[in-house]
């Protein structure tokens, strides 16, 4: 059984770093292998994980929709797309990474997207967990270029604009043509004194299951300054400890540790 987690939030709130921490925590908890999917056009998840991204699925989609692309139709084309996805995987210890890439262009992508979705669904079955680092508008989920989601995490900083963005994400998620089993919220960069009363009330009013907040963490900030990945973070990191607690909650009654 595969636990699929989609992470969404407005730009600049640490969404990609949180996705990378989730992958690190899943590996630490021996819930692996993990399939990491970078569905943000900025494509920074590879750097946060300390790996080099390979060919993007957008490139496969563009090539597959062109006249000179994959075989015209049927099993041959489906097999060609599946083979291209396999070659696009970046392999690492405990996890693999696929990168979605830029949004679609002017061509017709319906058939190729269907092949991509089918291939990703089949690929996901080989992993114990999938973590999808999405963009705020959740483009890839709205176009249904991935499988259904067990958990959506709407990430926010402790600011009212960020909380409003999370609210919109939760609302949008109910309009998507996919199944989302659990909608959760997570406050990132929580200060030592917790949340101000106004912020706490705004977060409490959101329509989502609340996960443990992730504290402001100087060690995590230093990683970014020195271009280091989340696997360089010490095990004592408060942010990592909070994400581990979130992983424990999300995986409860789903897996037993091996």
Residue 165: predicted pLDDT? 92
Residue 139: predicted pLDDT? 63
Residue 22 forms part of a structural domain: yes
**Do 199 and 159 touch, CB atoms closer than 8 A?**
yes
Q: Between 40 and 258, name the one with better pLDDT.
A: 40
Buried b / exposed e over 49-81, threshold 16 CB at 10 Å, is bebebebbbbebbbbbbeeebbeeeeeebbebb
| 245 band by pLDDT with thresholds 50, 70 and 90 | very high
**Whether the predicted pLDDT of 159 surpasses 60:** yes
Residue 255: predicted pLDDT? 56
CA dihedral 155, 158, 159, 164 (to 10 degrees): 40
Distance CA 212, CA 210 (A): 7
**Domain enclosing residue 232, as ranges:** 3-246
Distance CA 145, CA 186 (A): 25
**Do 23 and 49 touch, CB atoms closer than 8 A?**
yes
Residue 125 forms part of a structural domain: yes
Find the angle CA(101)-CA(87)-CA(255) to the nearest 5 degrees. Answer: 80
pTM across the whole model: 0.86
The tens digit of pLDDT for each residue in 173-225 reads 888 878 899 999 999 999 999 999 999 999 999 999 999 999 999 988 888 77
Beta bridge partner(s), residue 7: 133, 153
Residue 255 forms part of a structural domain: no
- DSSP E strand stretches across 39-104: 90-91, 95-99
**Whether the predicted pLDDT of 125 surpasses 90:** no
Residue 35 forms part of a structural domain: yes
**Do 249 and 150 touch, CB atoms closer than 8 A?**
no
Residue 117 forms part of a structural domain: yes
Distance CA 159, CA 190 (A): 10
Residue 153 forms part of a structural domain: yes
Q: What is the CATH number of the domain that holds 140?
A: 3.40.50.300
Residue 170: predicted pLDDT? 94
| 137 band by pLDDT with thresholds 50, 70 and 90 | low
Q: Between 256 and 146, name the one with better pLDDT.
A: 146
| 107 band by pLDDT with thresholds 50, 70 and 90 | very low
What is the total count of domains within the chain?
Answer: 1
Average pLDDT over residues 59-74: 54
**Do 176 and 138 touch, CB atoms closer than 8 A?**
yes
Q: Between 51 and 55, name the one with better pLDDT.
A: 51
Residue 129 forms part of a structural domain: yes
């Amino acid at each position: 059984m595969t636990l699929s987690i989609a992470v969404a939030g407005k730009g600049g709130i640490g969404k990609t770093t949180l996705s990378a921490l989730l992958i690190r925590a899943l590996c630490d908890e021996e819930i692996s292998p993990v399939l990491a999917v970078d569905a943000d056009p900025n494509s920074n998840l590879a750097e946060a994980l300390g790996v080099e991204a390979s060919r993007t699925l957008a490139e496969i989609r563009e090539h597959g929709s062109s006249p000179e692309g994959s075989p015209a139709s049927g099993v041959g084309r489906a097999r060609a797309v599946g083979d291209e996805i396999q070659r696009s995987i970046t392999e690492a210890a405990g996890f693999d990474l696929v990168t979605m890439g830029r949004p679609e262009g002017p061509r017709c992508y319906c058939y190729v997207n269907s092949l991509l979705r089918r291939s990703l669904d089949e690929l996901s079955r080989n992993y114990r967990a999938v973590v999808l680092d999405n963009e705020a508008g959740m483009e890839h989920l709205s176009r249904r270029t991935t499988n259904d989601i067990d958990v959506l995490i709407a990430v926010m900083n402790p600011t009212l604009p960020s909380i409003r963005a999370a609210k919109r994400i939760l609302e949008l998620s109910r309009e998507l043509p996919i199944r989302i089993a659990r909608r959760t919220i997570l406050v990132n960069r929580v200060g030592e004194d917790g949340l101000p009363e106004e912020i706490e009330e705004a977060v409490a009013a959101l329509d989502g299951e609340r996960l443990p907040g992730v504290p402001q963490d100087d060690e995590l900030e230093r990683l970014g300054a020195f271009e280091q990945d989340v696997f360089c973070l010490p095990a004592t990191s408060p942010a990592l400890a909070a994400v581990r607690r979130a992983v424990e909650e999300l995986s409860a009654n789903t897996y037993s540790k091996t």
